[in-house]
Amino acid sequence: MIVLGIETSHEQGGIGLSRDGRLLGELLFSAELGPGERLLPAIDSLLSLHNIERDQIELIAVALGPGSFTSLRIGLAVGKGLAQALHIPIVGVPSMAAYAERVSFLSGKICVVLPDRRDLVYSALYERALPIASEMSKTVTALRDSLAQISDLALVIGPGAERHRAVFEKTMTVAPAALNRPSGAVIAQLGARKYSQSQHDELWELEPLYVQQASPAPYTVPPMAARRTVQTKSGERSSL
C-alpha cells in the first residue's frame, strides 16, 4: 500500500511517502509563504522523485494537530481533496503521537511539546509511544515546573521544545534538533498502522484537534487501566 503523509501543523511543513511500511522519502518545506502555496507542489515533487502517479496513492494520512489553525485547515483540505478525487480512504493522526513514536524505544516518560502562541505551549505525556496524560496548553515555565516533578522523565521533544530549548535543557534532556522537526513519514507510518486495524475516518467529519488552556497544576498520570487502547508493534494496544 502506498501512503501519503501530510503534516502542516506548524511553521515547517512535511510530507512523507511509504510503500508497504517502508519509507520511500519525505520532504520538508517552509510555511512562511503559506502551506497552501507549497503543499501540492511538494507532493507532486515527492511523487515524481519516486516515479509514482497521484492515482497510485492508496491512503492519505494527515496530521490533526494541535497547531496553527490556518495551516492545519489547509493540510486537511488538501488531504480531503486528494482522498475525494482519488476515491481513497483518509485517516487523521494526532501530531503529538508522531513525535512520541520517533522515540518509542526510550524507557521512561516522554513529554511532547508543540508551540502555541507567545510563551504558551501544548504538551502531552507518553510512555513507549502510548499516551498517559491528556494534552494541555500551559506557559513554558509552568510546564517546566510540572515536568520537574516527574522522576522518570526521559526526554522533552517537539518543535516547542526546540523553540524553548534554553528553558528546558537547564533541568532536563531535550531531543536533538533533527527529531524536533515535523515528519510526514511518521504520519504516513502511523496512518498505515491505524488503517491496518480497520480504522479510517469519515471524510467530512475529520477536524483538527484543539487543546484547552490548563491550570498550573502539575501533571497527574492516570492509572494504567485508564489508558486508551490501540495496537503497537509488540501487540499491546493503545490509542493514537
Indicate whether 226 pLDDT > 50: no
Q: What band does 85 get if pLDDT is binned at 50, 70 and 90?
A: very high
Q: 3-class DSSP state for residue 228? A: coil
Q: 3-class DSSP state for residue 159? A: helix
Q: What percent of the chain has pLDDT above 70? A: 85
- Calculate mean pLDDT across residues 12-38: 83
Query: Residues 6 or more apart from 127 whose CB is under 8 A from it?
Result: 108, 109, 110
- The number of residues making up the chain comes to 240
The single-letter DSSP state of residue 217 is: P
- Calculate mean pLDDT across residues 109-115: 95
- Calculate mean pLDDT across residues 181-200: 93
Q: What percent of the chain has pLDDT above 90? A: 65
**Angle at alpha carbon of residue 63, lines to 188 and 181, rounded to 5°:** 80
Residue 165 CA to residue 177 CA, distance in Å, equals: 10
Lowest average pLDDT, out of 3-7, 28-32, 65-69, 236-240, goes to: 236-240
Q: What band does 227 get if pLDDT is binned at 50, 70 and 90?
A: very low
Q: What band does 220 get if pLDDT is binned at 50, 70 and 90?
A: low
Q: 3-class DSSP state for residue 72? A: helix
Residue 159 CA to residue 193 CA, distance in Å, equals: 24
- The domains found in the chain, sorted by start residue, are 2-94+182-205 (3.30.420.40), 96-180+211-226 (3.30.420.40)
Residue 66 CA to residue 68 CA, distance in Å, equals: 7
Indicate whether 95 pLDDT > 90: yes
Look at residues 205, 228, 209, 5 and name the one whose alpha carbon lies nearest to residue 114.
209
Q: According to the model, what pLDDT value does residue 14 have?
A: 92
Look at residues 8, 3, 4, 5 and name the one whose alpha carbon lies nearest to residue 208.
8
Q: According to the model, what pLDDT value does residue 114 have?
A: 92
Residue type at position 114? L
- Beta strand pairing call for 2-7 and 90-93: unpaired
Question: Locate cell 520537574: which residue?
Answer: 148
Alpha carbon distances (Å) from 171 to 144, 148, 156, 194: 8, 7, 11, 36
Predicted TM-score (pTM) of the model is 0.84
R_g of the chain computed on alpha carbons: 17
**Angle at alpha carbon of residue 14, lines to 61 and 175, rounded to 5°:** 105
Q: Which helix (H) or strand (E) holds 218?
A: none
Q: What band does 36 get if pLDDT is binned at 50, 70 and 90?
A: low
